[in-house]
Structure 1
């Protein structure tokens, strides 16, 4: 089996949905963030100091946050698509006023509802 990497139209789709996610993150659009995570008990998100298993737990965590994420600058983003239905998005970022570099990894999959994050991980580098 030959797997096509970065089919141009698929890469454009994932790049656009990644940008939509980023905009929702920094503007605290919890409805969009909830939408863009795969609504499945198999979805997971590893955060800075917490682990969430399943869409319901991720959504509950976001709802518990008192404020939106601080503004951040994306330093380097690498999006790779594998065939037509699977992709990864990895980015390094620096929060406004922060001294640490952050890392965010997402596994995206095409569902009947569109592209959704099936797994995510966020961490900081000291």
Structure 2
């Protein structure tokens, strides 16, 4: 299996950066568009097992605090159709760092998150 093919890394990086912009902008429809219909997401205090559950949950949430930053982001690709993204995130007004991991799969509709996990240290 080929790993970390430059073209795949570039595509997933672009998708991940677009997802982050949507998250920071609290663009719920855009956020949801990055997830596969059957995606499972574990959050800090929540859990969704498909896109419908995530849509209901997201619509009850307020936006992120200002100044979100990422650090130690890694993207590794496995073949042409699977990638794993991990990163740490924080906010200037909080002392706590969070962790985020996502598995991205190339589907007919493009790169989509199929599993996601968010936690705090």
The answer to whether 1:68 aligns with 2:66 is no
Q: Distance in 2 between matches of 1:32 and 1:102?
A: 22
Where in structure 2 are the equivalents of 1:1-126 lying within 5 Å?
3-40=1-38, 43-65=39-61, 67-70=62-65, 71-125=67-121
The CA RMSD measured in Å over matched residues stands at: 0.8
1:24-67 C-alpha deviation (Å, 9 max, x unpaired): 00110111111001022xx10000011111111111111111x2
Report the TM-score, using the length of structure 1 for normalisation: 0.92
1:5-31 C-alpha deviation (Å, 9 max, x unpaired): 111011000000000000000110111
Provide the aligned length of Structure 1 versus Structure 2. 120
Where do 5+ consecutive residues of structure 1 fail to align?
Answer: none
Give 1:96 deviation, angstroms: 2.6
Where do 5+ consecutive residues of structure 2 fail to align?
Answer: none
Q: Distance in 2 between matches of 1:114 and 1:85?
A: 10
Q: Distance in 1 between matches of 2:59 and 2:43?
A: 15
Report the TM-score, using the length of structure 2 for normalisation: 0.96
